[in-house]
Amino acid sequence: MPYLLVRGLKQSATASLLLLLTACADAPAQPLAAEPVSAPAATANPVAMSASSPTPLISFDEWRMLLRSDAIAAGIDAALFDRTFAGITLNPKVVSADNSQPEFSRPVWEYIDGAVSVSRIAQGRLLKAQYRPTLKAIRSAYAVDHEVLIAIWGMESNYGSNIGSHDVIRSLATLAYDGRRQVFWRSQLLAALQILQAGDGPAQGLIGSWAGAMGQTQFMPTTFNEHAVDFDGDGHRDLWKSTPDALASAAHYLQASGWENGQTWGFEVNLPQGFDYALADPEVRRSLTDWRSLGINPTRTIDADEQSLATLFLPAGHRGPAFLLLNNFRSILKYNNSTAYALAIGLLSDALDGNPGVQAAWPRNDRQLGRSERIELQELLTRKGYEPGPADGIIGANTRKAVRTFQQSLGLPADGYPSHELLQRLR
């Protein structure tokens, strides 16, 4: 689901946040995550923030009146606001979901197994054939390949069968009043009111995930306002019931994110013996020709420009599969800033096109670090002077760099992978 960075905001003493209505679609404000980012989304949030929401300083009724003033000043019809907020109450389950910090997350191979399942591939191929004329029209309009759109559709809502059941206005009001990122949630709430005022969305109201992600392609309200399109020509941008609108909107978003039509997202590769795993760093970008000169070769025939720049990705360390990632992988990351998510989208789109799955074996016997262990690893790295960044449990670029440096000091393969064995050595 697309993520947004709310930029250039100044909060006045009167809590007026009108500039939030102009928030634009961009990359998320958190570091690149190894596991699926899911806030806003339908599952627990791995993004490290405060453990709980700040205590509100005013009552919900007082807060709603301030919001009403801001909304009306921003052009929202007063009668629409009053109708929309009639009977709206706080949803404690939403606050609980926002504060969730799961101790354990699935290994990347389990995530891939679920995302690129036999049933999802089979259903996706049927829908690809069923919607071929629509997909061709979308490709003509936005220059985005069929398979990636079907893959996103399948990942975000299981092809429209699971679009959420929460009242989006109630969820966003709860989070804007009592959530951890109140400025962000308030921007989404005001954008949702704009959607209603424009006459978009279902007649029964905006329905979505607990965090306000909406429709078959799970757009946040600000992303909806920026990128949703009326592709079926009925005068409404309906991502809930109109599959053409949903797929075309996803294509519009990917187009804006730099998608290169006809180009691959990346591919699995074989690494030579004695390879320098320190090159598996997102900051190291080389041409495919340069990677080949190091003995790195695709596991299957690939049609790609040999001068294209790519990064080497080892999602499970040096004992697991290796991938070269091209620019389209970065475009998928704009949709959801998670390498596991983007890899799943890439592999699912390949499967929809008839290509084989991952060839190398995953290290399925590896013991995964829990969140508290990841925090401990970061703290121990800091004590040893390796600068992994904040001890937040997120294995981002800084932590991987610190892990890589520590591995090099021990003469280990410097793949930047935070294994349980590495934590034991740090201890």
pLDDT at 20: 36
pLDDT at 28: 32
| Contact call for residues 180 and 173 (beta carbons, < 8 A) | no
Question: How many angstroms separate the Cα of 409 from the Cα of each of 281, 374, 389?
Answer: 17, 20, 19
Q: For tokens 């001068």, name the residue.
A: 307
- Mean pLDDT of residues grouped by 10 in the chain (427 residues)? 44 35 33 44 34 74 96 96 95 91 86 96 98 98 98 98 96 94 95 96 90 97 98 96 98 97 96 94 95 96 92 96 98 94 98 95 94 95 95 91 95 94 95
Alpha-carbon Rg for the chain, nearest whole angstrom, is 22
Q: How far apart (Å, rounded) are the C-alpha atoms in residues 163 and 154? A: 11
**161's tokens:** 């069968």
Strand order, beta sheet including 297-298: 286-287, 309-313, 322-325, 266-270, 297-298
- Which tens digit of pLDDT belongs to each residue from 10-68? 333 333 333 333 333 333 333 344 554 443 333 333 333 344 566 778 999 999 999 99
pLDDT at 100: 83
pLDDT at 52: 56
Q: Which residues pair with 266 in a beta bridge?
A: 325
Closest CA to 179 of 63, 65, 264: 63
Cβ-count burial 9-27 (b if 16+ within 10 Å, e if not): eeeeeeeebebbbbbebbe
pLDDT at 27: 32
**319's tokens:** 């004992």
Question: How many angstroms separate the Cα of 381 from the Cα of each of 6, 35, 239, 427?
Answer: 32, 21, 45, 10
Closest CA to 334 of 20, 48, 36, 25: 25
HEC profile of the chain:
CCCECCCCCCCCCCCCCHHHHHCCECCCCCCCECCCCCCCCCCCCCCCCCCCCCCCCCCHHHHHHHHHHHHHHCCCCHHHHHHHHCCCCCCHHHHHHHCCCCCCCCCHHHHHHHHCCHHHHHHHHHHHHHCHHHHHHHHHHHCCCHHHHHHHHHHHHCCCCCCCCEEHHHHHHHHHHHCCCHHHHHHHHHHHHHHHHCCCCCCCCCEECCCCCECCCCECHHHHHHHCCCCCCCCCCCCCCCHHHHHHHHHHHHHHCCCCCCCCCEEEEECCCCCCHHHCCCCCCEEHHHHHHCCCEECCCCCCCCCCEEEEECCCCCCCCEEEECHHHHHHHHHCCEHHHHHHHHHHHHHHCCCCCCCCCCCCCCCCCCHHHHHHHHHHHHHCCCCCCCCCCCCCHHHHHHHHHHHHHHCCCCCCCCCHHHHHHHC
- Which tens digit of pLDDT belongs to each residue from 163-177? 999 999 999 999 999
**306's tokens:** 């040999």
CA 85 to chain centre: 30
pTM to 2 decimal places: 0.87
pLDDT at 54: 66
Q: For tokens 């995550």, name the residue.
A: 33
100 CB-contact burial (10 Å; exposed 0-12 / middle 13-18 / buried 19+): middle
Neighbours of 213 (CB within 10 A): 30
pLDDT at 202: 86
